[in-house]
A = this chain, B = another copy of it.
Amino acid sequence: MRLISKKTDYAIKAICFIAEAKGRVVSVAELIREFDMPRPFLRKILQILKKSGILKSYKGQDGGFTLAIPAREIFVANLIKIFHGPIKLSRCVFKERLCSDVKTCALKVRIDTIETRVARELQSINIESLLK
């Protein structure tokens, strides 16, 4: 049970590095020189980030990536969502007929509360706040 998977973690590190380059185009080659990540895996991650509108990419020699939006507007919650879908920590396995009243189910209510709080906190962490 993890909030931050490897994908998310690699993504955060890469985005931070790209953010610190302040507009200079950063290639995968440069990133793996900096971090110890599997090259093809990182490539896949960056491609997804590009498709999601977090990064801009430049093909060809001297190509690479830059941020597509300011670091201040990229949130950890966004990244988790991109790789793992919406944050849903509980998922009741009992259908209507088994839980006497889903609306007021004590367990569901309490787990949902925790879930909402976690989601809000993850939404409050932006990349800018993680830079040196």
Given contacts A12-B107, A118-B114, contact A98 B3 (CB under 8 A): no
User: Does A44 have its Cβ within 8 Å of any Cβ on chain B?
Assistant: no
- Shortest Cβ distance from A131 into B: residue: B106
Interchain CB contact under 8 A, A90 and B122: no
Q: What's the Cα separation between A30 and B117 when bound, in Å?
A: 37
CB-contact partner of A3 in B1, B36, B125, B130, under 8 A? B1
**Residues in chain B near residue A61, CB distance under 8 A:** none
Interchain CB contact under 8 A, B3 and A90: yes
User: Does A65 have its Cβ within 8 Å of any Cβ on chain B?
Assistant: no
- Shortest Cβ distance from A87 into B: residue: B1
**A5-25: contact bitstring with B at CB < 8 Å (1 yes, 0 no)?**
010011011000000000000
User: Does A59 have its Cβ within 8 Å of any Cβ on chain B?
Assistant: no
**Residues in chain B near residue A93, CB distance under 8 A:** 6, 9-10
